[in-house]
Every structure is written in C-alpha cells, then in structure tokens.
Structure 1
Amino acid sequence: MNMTTRRGFLAGAATSTLLLAGCNNGVSGRGPQTIEARVRSTLDFLYRTYPGVRDLASKSSGQLVMPLVTEAGLGIGGSYGRGALMVQDTVVDYYSSTQASIGLQIGAQQYAHVLFFMTDRSLYQFRNSPGWAAGADIEYAVNDRGGNLSAETTTSLSPVIAVIFGQAGLIAGATVRGAKYSRIIP
C-alpha cells in the first residue's frame, strides 16, 4: 500500500467515523430501563404499522429488537445500535449491533430492525455465541404494496427472519448481513 492509498484510506475512515458520531442514534441512555422502553416502543410501532407481524412474533422463539441503528459511510462505512433480546415478552439480554463496510457509498441513514428466531435451535445458537454474525441464513421479510407484512411473506423454514423498518436517511437500502451482535451490560 503506497502512501497516497494509506492517506486516502485513513481520510475515508476518519470521515466515516465523524459521520457516524455526528448521527446520534438516540440510544445514548446507558440504563437498561432506557433500552427496554425503546424496545417496547419499537415493537408497538411495528405491530401498529404491520399488524401481521404479531403472528410472526407469536410463532418465534425470541426476538432481538434493535430500536435504532445508525449507519454512515463515505467509501468506508459502519453502523451501530443497541437493543434487547426478548423471550416470551420478557427482556433476557442486551446486545449491540455493529457493521463495517467498504465500497461505493456515501450518506447516512437510521432504521430499526427485529430479528425473529423461528426455532429454538437458532435462538440457542445466538445466545450461546460470543459474537453472532448475521449471515446467509437470514430471510428478509418485506412489505408488499399494501403495506402488509406477515409470516406468510417468508418461508416458514427460515431459522431467522429479519424485519427492517422505519428507514430515514440518504443511503439506499439497509441490511443486517455482516452485522455482528454482541452481548452488552448497559
């Protein structure tokens, strides 16, 4: 790597870091009560906006709710958010989500997402890993033209279903593939 390439890389990394830091993801409160309140508010919004998701939730073994993830990038990008894992409508753990990316990108966006663990095995693997990376085993549920979203939208054989919603910002599209989830103590 020559000196010009290193400087460009460092400049891109510094710019992305500043963009990400400048976008307050709204999860800056440190206490578990703050995270839990945001998680419950996010679920209420999701269920009001897409009532069919309640059926998906009732069939799942657990849900990881990330109320607000902030993503920013300028060549090099990243995202960060905090949330909670719920099992039978009870918060059992707190998690952070981080993601790094490189490529043609510029801008910032914020969004919420919920991972529905559709099998006991997928929930067990998530809870017992030191840092779980979202990969190809995730099925994305998307809303149809009528704004409906339900368990029938995706195959019931998927171990994890991701629902991404509430997007706002200047980067097109959001995905959790490549995101790393780590247990935190708020």
Structure 2
Amino acid sequence: MNTTIPLFCRVALALAAPAFLTQCAYEPVTRANAANASRADISGDARAALEDLYSRDPGARKLGRSAAGILVFPHITKGGLMVGAEAGNGVLFGRDGATKGYYQTAGASYGLQAGVQKYGYVLFLMSSSEVSQLNRAAGWEVGSSPGLVVVDRGIAGTITSRTADRGVYAYVFNQKGLMAGLSFKGTKITRIQPGR
C-alpha cells in the first residue's frame, strides 16, 4: 500500500494552511490574549512609541494632527519556518488623543520564510469610515484595504493635508531580527477587552 500523499493533496494543504492558521489565530487566542492583557501597559507603550515616531519623523506628526484615529501597535513579534505567525496588542487613539479601544493584530503566512522579527507599526486612519471598519464583527483585514499606503522616506516627503484626507497610512518602526521584508497581507485586527 502506497502511503505517499499525492502532489495535489500537498499543494491543496499548502494553499489552505494560511487561511486555517489565520482563523485559529483569532477566536481562542484573542480571548486568552485579552484576559491576560493590561490596559495600562498597552496604552503606556503605545503612547511612548507614537511620541518616539513623532520625534523622528515630522511627517508622521502632521498625519497625526489630521487623522480621525491613530492605531498603534508598539510591540509585534513575528516568527516562522515556512509557516509564520505574528501577534501584538495596540490601542486606538482618537482625534482628541483619548484612548478609544484596545486591539490585537495577528496574522499567519506561508512561504519561503525563516527567523524571528520584532517591530511596531502605526496606522493613521484619515477618515471616520476607516475607523468604523475596525469594529466589524470578524475583524479588519489590513492588507485588503485598497487605501493602505505603507510610508517610507520617499513617500513621507510628499504627504500633505490635501493628499492625506482619506485612506490609511502605515509607518513601520523598530524592525529588529532575521526575517527580511514585511507585509500586511494576512494581517487581521480585532478589538479586545483587556482583563486588567
């Protein structure tokens, strides 16, 4: 009896793995994460990360003044060997600087990847419609947003209040580790209610 898995089964499994892992990353993990998360720690780390970004990049501060909401994930860890996963907690600050909610970012990926990486990111949500997308029942898939712009030094200099009246602008900071590249594809943001 031949126990070798046929090639088409292996291909189908490889294609289905990210979707399966992505779903596993949310419900049970989200509940466990929220129960062990600290509101004060998340808020404090997020405010410090945002202020650090503002001190290094005046363009980010300009976006922050115009944004309807600023979603800050100060500490994200990503690791993988062929199959990768990433996760971190963050906070949404409103136009007035007040905390509007706590969120988890999580994602799974499949492909040529190996190593561990740590980083943070800020999403500047330029209109109230982008802010309202955060609280959809199944969460918000960042990479599927047509208005997402990942800001680098070249783009930062061209952003003005006229060009940044809508969409989502992402700043990635403090990248450390062995993994090359970064993508928001497969990343999902879900609201959490920290237990403490």
Check the 8 A contact 1:56/1:150 in 2, yes or no: no
2:5 counterpart residue number: 2
Match of 1:120 among 128, 141, 151: 128
TM-score between the two structures when normalised by the length of structure 1: 0.78
| Pair 1:66 & 2:76 matched | no
AA paired with 2:129?
A: R
1:57 counterpart residue number: 64
Q: Counterparts of 2:64 and 2:182 in 1: how far apart (Å)?
A: 21
Check the 8 A contact 1:131/1:181 in 2, yes or no: yes
Tell me whether 33-42 or 130-139 shows the greater mean CA deviation: 130-139
AA paired with 2:84?
A: G
Deviations 1:55-104 (A, max 9, x none): 01111100110001100110000100001011021111100000100000
**Residue pairs, 1:3-152, within 5 angstroms:** 30-87=37-94, 88-134=96-142, 135-137=144-146, 138-144=148-154, 151-152=159-160
Residue 51 of structure 1: CA displacement? Answer: 2.0
Residue 129 of structure 1: CA displacement? Answer: 4.2
Moved over 4 A (4+): none
Q: Counterparts of 2:193 and 2:75 in 1: how far apart (Å)?
A: 18
Check the 8 A contact 1:53/1:151 in 2, yes or no: no
CA RMSD of superposed structures (Å): 3.0
**Residue pairs, 1:136-175, within 5 angstroms:** 136-137=145-146, 138-144=148-154, 151-152=159-160, 155-156=163-164, 158-175=166-183
Structure holding more helix per residue:
2
Where relative contact order (Cα < 8 A, 6+ residues apart) is larger, the structure is 2
Larger Rg: 2
Which runs of 5 or more residues in structure 1 are unaligned? 14-28
Check the 8 A contact 2:69/2:93 in 1, yes or no: yes
